[in-house]
Amino acid sequence: MNFEDNKGLFVEEARELLEAIEAKLLELEDRPRDEAIVDDVFRSLHTIKGSGSMFGFDEMTAFAHGLENLFDDVRKGRLGVTREVIGLTLESVDCLSSLLEGRDDEAARARGSIESRLEAVRRGAGANAADTAGSAGASKGIVPIDADDDASEAGLTNVYRVRFKPDADILGRGVKIENLFAELAELGDVAAVADASRVPELDGLEPSSLYLSWIVDVSTTASEADVSSVFMFVEDYAELRIERLSVVDAEGKPAVPPIGEILAARGALARDSIAEIRGRQKPFGELALESGKVSKPELEAALAEQRMAKAAGRERESKKESASIRVRKEKLDYLVDAVGELVILQARLRQAAAEAGLDEFSGIAEDLSRLTDELRDATMNIRMVPLDESFSGFPRLVHDLASQLGKELNLTVRGGSTELDKNIIESLKDPLVHIVRNSADHGVEAPDERERAGKPRAGTITIEARQQGSRVEIEIADDGAGLDLERIRERGVERGLIDASERDPERIKQLIFEPGFSTARRTTGVSGRGVGMDVVMSNLRRLRGDVSIVSERGRGTAITLSIPLTLVIVDGLLVRVGGVHYVVNLSQVLECVDEPAADRAGRAARGFIDLRGRTVPIVDLRARFGLGRGDDTADRRLVIIDDDGSVIALWVDAVVGKQQVVIKPFTMDLRQIAVIAGARWPLSSTRERSSRP
């Protein structure tokens, strides 16, 4: 066993568990009486505590144990779900994250205070049962909603048969058997039968010894590791065997064995007795009981196991089980790079085959091309992950912002299942956080102000993702006051960013993305320093993304980010200029037009074209790239593009066709070249043609 590799897997799993706890706590704030949520939080804490101990996270284990005790009190009704409990648990999750990531100084500063407050809450000091999180939810409630959520995606139910035979002296080691069964019951439905065959005659009975053993059936959505962790601290003092029962056949249909097979598997009945009993034309369980070969408790336990298996089988029939595997990002990036190199090699082979003119050679090249395309698409799909990963932290962010700003905020999230390239998702986290913080601080008004305006006291921030062709749009909207365009214009004039005569709303809106720009009259802990929105713009430019703003005074603001699905493959239009091929991003191309030399006159001769009554400037790419002057008397082929709202015409020698390309970034020395974004390698293309595509 490679300890370090498994330790890394634990850290990844613990991160996910902490994120899940955080999300559940915010749900619990709205539904403080939901026992299922409390159980989920407790189980996650229990898993972190048990697994953390195995991998040497002793401080985190000890801290999680105290938090687990708190939720054990909640589960048992000794403590109510109050605003204080929610807030304290969220702080504890932050502390656990610090301990997990090795930020010991940060954790040490918070840990002592949190532990003493946890103990005080457990003793009842500072707890106010009447002040429930239900009222907190009414004042500062966060309502995370995902329209794409589907209950059918919940964890599947498994049935485990646990054979537990403790050593006779286990009670002397301080083990409480009832606690083990209680923990099993927390995982799901439990049916147990005790085996008393080891109990001696009365005169040989030792009061401090344990002679019983058990077969326990557990129906749960938890994993086998979770079931095993219940016995983590007693495994050395007992015989333990955990079997995962098969509840479906190879086709996914329920496949539950007859009661006789179950009894035989449990060791309650000899297999050679099955046919004898079955031949009596009565229900097998009834006949087995009448035969005296099976006791009533054993039969009831077997029937319970059968019911659990049937229920789990029906569930699995109604939903498809999906398996996943964790892969390190570095390995995935290497795979993508290797596929990119394969694509380049395949393109060279296809070109060589075409030049050689050998039919057999060309056929092999075409077959390889098809397989390479399939491998490329499959590899790119592996990199695509749901946006839920970016959206998962926003309920907590909005919850904290509501507390800091003294506002009432609701959060609605839609489209979390929309997929985007993993690397792009990581780059989007900071821009999304900045926009949400600005919406909470500058967009949504204070509760009293909203009430005077006839609005609900609680403002709503909505995050919605949707796919539009080869791009993904993420809209962050609020129902607040909207942008004060006059105030923005005044600040722009003061800073010399625009002329005093500027009145174009679109130009004024774009000022908020200028570095250091802010209209705030005071600086808060959230915003007002003029940083944040410029980060949004710079990150989007690196991602080849766009941003647009729609705002209505008194009604709210919506900021929409448009990002390509992936940065690795680009749909482009291949053009030829002076013997060199270039690719224009197809998402920017509006149309291609041919302009005969005879039709050019007036402004067109000076570098403009009249396109259906619209004056469009022409950029001569030959002159721009230093490839020599084109023939002004020849027909021109123009590619009309929209560059951030500016429509221009690119003068090219020929339009080759549509092409997908792999983009290879330049080295640091070449990245400063304007206009050129990278080096391209063809994936597929159409035959060159001089007419419009």
> Which pair of structure tokens corresponds to residue 273?
């007795």
Among 149-158, 411-420, 538-547, the minimum mean pLDDT is found in 149-158
Determine, yes or no, domain membership for 415.
Answer: yes
Same domain, 182 and 277: yes
Highest mean pLDDT among 283-297, 406-420, 572-586, 628-642: 406-420
> pLDDT for 252-267, tens place per residue?
566 666 777 777 777 7
Q: What is the pLDDT of residue 447?
A: 92
Closest CA to 573 of 553, 588, 554: 588
Give the residue from 318, 340, 372 where a domain finishes: 318
**What mean pLDDT comes out for the span 638-664?**
79
**What mean pLDDT comes out for the span 308-331?**
65
Q: What is the pLDDT of residue 128?
A: 43
Same domain, 603 and 510: no
Task: Tell whether the model's pLDDT for residue 376 goes beyond 50.
Answer: yes
Which residue type occupies 15?
Answer: R
Q: What is the pLDDT of residue 692?
A: 31
The three-state (H, E, C) secondary structure of 522-565, written as one string: CCCCCCCCCCCHHHHHHHHHHCCCEEEEEEECCCEEEEEEEEEC
Q: What is the pLDDT of residue 194?
A: 86
pTM of the model: 0.54
Same domain, 260 and 314: yes
Q: What is the pLDDT of residue 557?
A: 92
Determine, yes or no, domain membership for 547.
Answer: yes
Q: What is the pLDDT of residue 528?
A: 45
Residue 222 buriedness (CB in 10 A; 0-12 / 13-18 / 19+): buried
Determine, yes or no, domain membership for 343.
Answer: no
Same domain, 617 and 674: yes
Residue 259: φ, ψ to 5°:
-60, -35
Q: What is the pLDDT of residue 227?
A: 87
Task: Tell whether the model's pLDDT for residue 45 goes beyond 80.
Answer: yes
**Structural domain boundaries, residue 70:** 3-138
Determine, yes or no, domain membership for 539.
Answer: yes
CATH number at residue 52: 1.20.120.160
Determine, yes or no, domain membership for 512.
Answer: yes
Closest CA to 254 of 307, 298, 322: 307
**What mean pLDDT comes out for the span 229-235?**
83
Q: What is the pLDDT of residue 271?
A: 72
Same domain, 435 and 474: yes
Higher pLDDT, 150 or 613: 613
Mean pLDDT of the chain: 77
> pLDDT for 596-606, tens place per residue?
766 655 444 56
**What mean pLDDT comes out for the span 212-229?**
86
93 contacts 22 by C-beta, under 8 angstroms: yes
At 5, the pLDDT band (50, 70, 90 cuts) reads low
What CA–CA distance (Å, rounded) separates 442 from 542? 26
Closest CA to 494 of 514, 478, 476: 514
Q: What is the pLDDT of residue 151?
A: 31
Task: Tell whether the model's pLDDT for residue 691 goes beyond 80.
Answer: no
Q: What is the pLDDT of residue 152?
A: 32
Same domain, 551 and 582: no
Q: What is the pLDDT of residue 255?
A: 64
Determine, yes or no, domain membership for 350.
Answer: no
Same domain, 102 and 45: yes
Q: What is the pLDDT of residue 459?
A: 92
Q: What is the pLDDT of residue 311?
A: 73
Give the residue from 318, 339, 357 where a domain finishes: 318
> Which pair of structure tokens corresponds to residue 538?
């710079």
CATH number at residue 203: 3.30.70.1110
What CA–CA distance (Å, rounded) separates 90 from 96? 10
> Which pair of structure tokens corresponds to residue 24?
């559940």
Determine, yes or no, domain membership for 199.
Answer: yes
**What mean pLDDT comes out for the span 204-218?**
88
Closest CA to 549 of 442, 648, 459, 410: 442
**What mean pLDDT comes out for the span 55-72?**
83
Task: Tell whether the model's pLDDT for residue 191 goes beyond 80.
Answer: yes
Determine, yes or no, domain membership for 450.
Answer: yes
CATH number at residue 500: 3.30.565.10
Q: What is the pLDDT of residue 111?
A: 78
Domain total in the chain = 4
192 contacts 201 by C-beta, under 8 angstroms: no
Same domain, 493 and 407: yes
Q: What is the pLDDT of residue 130?
A: 37
Higher pLDDT, 6 or 27: 27
Highest mean pLDDT among 197-206, 272-281, 636-645: 197-206
Same domain, 408 and 554: yes
What CA–CA distance (Å, rounded) separates 392 from 19? 8
Same domain, 558 and 574: no
Same domain, 113 and 163: no
**What mean pLDDT comes out for the span 81-85?**
83
Q: What is the pLDDT of residue 564?
A: 79
Same domain, 574 and 550: no
Q: What is the pLDDT of residue 523?
A: 52
Higher pLDDT, 280 or 293: 293
Sequential DSSP letters for 447-482: HHHHHHTTS-SSEEEEEEEEEETTEEEEEEEE-SS-
> pLDDT for 523-567, tens place per residue?
555 554 444 577 788 778 777 788 889 999 889 999 999 887 766
Give the residue from 518, 541, 564 where a domain finishes: 564
What CA–CA distance (Å, rounded) separates 40 from 149? 18
